[in-house]
Amino acid sequence: MIFTVAIDGPAAAGKGTISRAVAAEFGFAHLDTGALYRAVGVKGGDPIEAALSLTAGDLNRPDLRSLEAGQAASRVAVIPEVRAALLEFQRSFARREGGAVLDGRDIGTVICPGAEVKLFITASAAVRARRRWLELGGEAAPKPFEAVLAEVIERDERDMNRTDAPLKPAKDAVLIDTSALSIGEAIAAALAPVAAALSARATQA
């Protein structure tokens, strides 16, 4: 069975946690496409060459989840040649046998516009910044909350206003605002449309 779930949204909205849960629930493969851009960003040097020479080892670097890697990913993601270099890898993964969940910022709009289910996970900038700040250690974090909030807002602006594949929900995406939801509630909200689509497909078969 080929079945694609496209999950988009801004940083720290919860799409990674939700994507992993959806993949586990239905037995689908999962790809965090942001990791591709993070890996390109932290490799340094020419980003186009970095994208063309990306290896599995690059995706296992321990520093890919750092705030700096996220900022680097956002900077290289605005380069059309970098996006083109990673496009086919993502599309091939999405249409693999057995189902796939991809999360990123342009999955439902550019990478997989024909995905069977599209979700857009969001939350307020303040909520997302607090989540990221707590991940970094809260009061023990290397940066104050205000600095993390400023970086989240800066990244949103860059991601939403880039010329190539800006961050925005697909017209047919299900919007899930996780600002006031628990992790369990957010996951349940995401599982429902996927289960409904699978059920509809089974009925038509």
- Annotated binding-site residue numbers for ATP: 9-17
Q: Max Cα separation, the chain?
A: 55
Tell me which long-range contacts 62-71 makes (C-beta under 8 A, separation of at least 24): 64/35, 64/38, 64/39, 65/38, 67/132, 67/136, 67/143, 67/148, 67/151, 68/42, 69/38, 69/41, 69/42, 70/11, 70/34, 70/38, 70/155, 71/41, 71/151, 71/155
- CB atoms near residue 134 (< 10 Å): 14
Which residues are annotated as part of the binding site?
9-17
What separation, in Å, do the N-terminal and C-terminal C-alpha atoms of the chain show?
A: 12
Q: For residue 181, report the phi and psi dihedrals to the nearest 5 degrees.
A: -100, 145
